[in-house]
């Protein structure tokens, strides 16, 4: 079923709500469960706590698990913790192991321990295996719900095994093959398995060219690999090539969304991803570290302007162009930063090489600086009738745009070289740094050629 539009969702909810309030459980279930899980989740998110508690009582843990898997991640914790613990534990049991682990990682340790105690032993042990892996690694996002077959199985035996295990597996489009030591040795697609002769051995029809990732691999690198190879799933192995789990494409889509949000926050000068549900105090805590650091950097800019106070007293009009010089430096630096961070995250930097990227940005800075410089010289000459002032502002702008463009590209590359997230070279940081450089260049030139201005 296709996703409903907002007005269609409202109309559908009115029907469901009537059945809900009239305690017509069968009608409610028929109407609600007919919807796509995404639409179920969107309707569920909009309800008050009292109505949500009624819905909990009308749905089974398995049905509720389908809803929770589609709920906005910022709301999941609140919904899970408001449920009766026994019901919440059953819901987590019914979810994909990796999704359940993602939720539990956000909860208080005491609540996690409580849920794990209530769960059945098998589900609890599977979740515990994944909980100890470091966040944002292959181990933390993989699922253990997959189908594995052995090299000595026949195709007929493998198909029988697949039919048995498929209902609980995350995906069956790829079936991974292990040897007697449980080491990953091959992969076979569902298509190839179906068309193979029943008596053939799996080791004769499997592909030995299987791409895998170590359990400690960073999730961003895994996303890049899955994008490059167009995989629907990727096996995760330990240092001895034992198959531990698989990462599916839906998990990677969540990773890409998470990484994009994280990078956007850092580019905006926020230390952690903010949510619209955060309190004012929580948001302030995330923003203050960057703002305080930038405050001190801004003080350096103020001290430079103070040093050139004499120049400002003699030619007061110089002050009018401070925002123009600083603003253009910040703008072009942020543009170069965005290009550099994207090149790093997509792997383009490795393909083209750092020198080529920096040289391209240098040429870009020269071209944009020259064009903007010529334009400002003409404008100041015409508007203020001061050709030498135009020359000083124009040359300052040319130099500033060149340096700002280079620094915007170079700083994130240096951070990446030292294994620091390049997104940390945020827009506010680059902007403030370029303000400092641009003001120094501008007043340096103005002081050197002061005789032409007075």
288 and 420 co-located in one domain: yes
422 and 305 co-located in one domain: yes
More confident residue, 317 or 268: 317
Is the pLDDT at 385 greater than 70, yes or no?
Answer: yes
Q: Write down the pLDDT at residue 422.
A: 62
More confident residue, 93 or 294: 93
Lowest mean pLDDT among 30-44, 242-256, 285-299, 316-330: 285-299
Lowest mean pLDDT among 47-51, 346-350, 441-445: 346-350
228, 259, 290 — which closes off a domain? 259
Q: State the pLDDT confidence band at 272, using cuts at 50, 70 and 90.
A: low
Average pLDDT (164-175) is 87
Cα distances (angstroms) measured from residue 101 to each of 7, 34, 104, 134, 248: 34, 28, 5, 12, 15
- Split into its structural domains, the chain has a count of 3
Q: Is residue 105 part of a domain?
A: yes
High-pLDDT (> 70) share of the chain, %: 85
433 and 326 co-located in one domain: yes
325 and 402 co-located in one domain: yes
Lowest mean pLDDT among 165-174, 288-297, 422-431: 422-431
Q: Which domain holds residue 184?
A: 148-259
CATH code (residue 323): 1.10.357.20
Answer for the pair 233, 248: CB distance below 8 angstroms, yes or no. yes
Average pLDDT (195-213) is 93
Q: Is residue 143 part of a domain?
A: no
163 and 208 co-located in one domain: yes
Q: State the pLDDT confidence band at 414, using cuts at 50, 70 and 90.
A: confident
Answer for the pair 190, 165: CB distance below 8 angstroms, yes or no. no
pLDDT in tens, 173-193: 889 999 988 899 999 999 999
Q: Is residue 272 part of a domain?
A: no
Q: Is residue 157 part of a domain?
A: yes
133, 166, 193 — which closes off a domain? 133
284 and 308 co-located in one domain: yes
Q: Is residue 330 part of a domain?
A: yes
- Adjacent-strand bridge partners of 245: 236
CATH code (residue 217): 3.10.580.10
Distance CA 382, CA 105 (A): 64
Q: State the pLDDT confidence band at 389, using cuts at 50, 70 and 90.
A: confident
Average pLDDT along the chain: 83
Distance CA 329, CA 432 (A): 9
Is the pLDDT at 68 greater than 70, yes or no?
Answer: yes
Q: Write down the pLDDT at residue 453.
A: 66
Average pLDDT (77-102) is 90
* Strands annotated E in 16-77: none
Q: Is residue 410 part of a domain?
A: yes
388 and 421 co-located in one domain: yes
Answer for the pair 91, 80: CB distance below 8 angstroms, yes or no. yes
Average pLDDT (6-15) is 71
CATH code (residue 70): 1.25.60.10
Is the pLDDT at 426 greater than 60, yes or no?
Answer: no
Q: Is residue 53 part of a domain?
A: yes
Distance CA 410, CA 392 (A): 27
203 and 115 co-located in one domain: no
Closest CA relative to residue 273, chosen from 61, 281, 283 = 283
253 and 296 co-located in one domain: no
Q: State the pLDDT confidence band at 60, using cuts at 50, 70 and 90.
A: very high
Q: State the pLDDT confidence band at 1, using cuts at 50, 70 and 90.
A: very low
Lowest mean pLDDT among 105-119, 253-267, 371-385, 429-443: 253-267
Which DSSP string corresponds to 337-404?
HHHHHHHHHHTHHHHH-HHHHHHHHHHHHHHHHHHHHHHHHHHHHHHT--HHHHHHHHHHHHHHHHHH
Q: Write down the pLDDT at residue 144.
A: 86
Q: Is residue 268 part of a domain?
A: no
Average pLDDT (392-416) is 87
Tally Cβ neighbours within 10 Å of residue 230. Answer: 7
190 and 296 co-located in one domain: no
309 and 445 co-located in one domain: yes
Strands 174-178 and 184-189: antiparallel
Answer for the pair 229, 211: CB distance below 8 angstroms, yes or no. yes
319 and 418 co-located in one domain: yes
100, 133, 166 — which closes off a domain? 133
Buried b (16+ CB within 10 A) or exposed e, 80-97: beebeeebbbbbbbbbbb
Q: Write down the pLDDT at residue 344.
A: 73
- φ, ψ of residue 441 in degrees (nearest 5): -65, -45
Most confident residue range from 5-9, 313-317, 327-331: 327-331
Q: State the pLDDT confidence band at 84, using cuts at 50, 70 and 90.
A: very high
Task: Tell me which residue has tokens 């939720």.
Answer: 103
């Amino acid at each position: 079923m296709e996703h409903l539009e907002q007005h269609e969702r409202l109309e559908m909810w009115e029907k469901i709500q009537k059945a809900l309030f009239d305690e017509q459980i069968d009608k409610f279930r028929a109407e609600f469960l007919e919807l796509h899980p995404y639409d179920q989740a969107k309707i569920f998110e909009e309800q008050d706590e009292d109505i949500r508690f009624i819905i909990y009582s009308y749905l089974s843990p398995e049905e509720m698990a389908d809803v929770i898997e589609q709920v906005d991640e910022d709301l999941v914790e609140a919904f899970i913790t408001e449920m009766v613990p026994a019901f919440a534990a059953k819901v987590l049991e019914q979810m994909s192991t990796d999704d359940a682990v993602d939720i539990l990682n956000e909860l208080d340790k005491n609540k996690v321990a409580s849920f794990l105690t209530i769960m059945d032993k098998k589900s609890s042990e599977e979740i515990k295996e994944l909980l100890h892996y470091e966040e944002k690694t292959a181990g933390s996002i993989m699922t253990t719900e997959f189908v594995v077959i052995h090299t000595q199985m026949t195709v007929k035996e493998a198909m029988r095994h697949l039919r048995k295990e498929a209902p609980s597996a995350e995906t069956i489009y790829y079936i991974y093959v292990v040897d007697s030591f449980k080491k990953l040795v091959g992969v076979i697609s569902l298509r190839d398995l179906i068309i193979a002769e029943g008596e053939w051995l799996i080791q004769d029809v499997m592909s030995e060219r299987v791409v895998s990732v170590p359990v400690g691999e960073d999730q961003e690198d895994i996303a890049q690999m899955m994008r490059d190879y167009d995989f629907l799933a990727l096996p995760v192995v330990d240092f001895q090539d034992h198959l531990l789990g698989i990462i599916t494409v839906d998990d990677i889509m969540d990773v890409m969304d998470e990484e994009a949000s994280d990078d956007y926050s850092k580019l905006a000068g926020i230390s952690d991803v903010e949510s619209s549900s955060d309190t004012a105090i929580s948001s302030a805590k995330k923003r203050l570290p960057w703002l305080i650091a930038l405050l001190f950097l801004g003080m350096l800019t103020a001290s430079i302007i103070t040093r050139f106070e004499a120049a400002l007293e003699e030619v007061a009009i110089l002050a009018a162009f401070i925002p123009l010089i600083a603003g253009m430096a910040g703008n072009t630096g942020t543009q170069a930063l965005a290009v550099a961070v994207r090149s790093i995250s997509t792997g383009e930097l490795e393909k083209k090489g750092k020198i080529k990227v920096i040289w391209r940005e240098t040429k870009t800075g020269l071209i944009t600086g020259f064009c903007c410089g010529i334009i400002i010289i003409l404008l100041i000459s015409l508007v203020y009738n001061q050709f030498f002032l135009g020359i000083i502002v124009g040359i300052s702008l040319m130099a500033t745009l060149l340096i700002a463009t280079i620094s915007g590209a170079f700083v994130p590359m240096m951070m990446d070289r030292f294994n620091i997230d390049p997104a940390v070279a945020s827009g506010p940081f680059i902007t403030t740094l370029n303000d400092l450089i641009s003001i120094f260049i501008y007043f340096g030139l103005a002081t050197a050629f002061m005789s032409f201005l007075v």
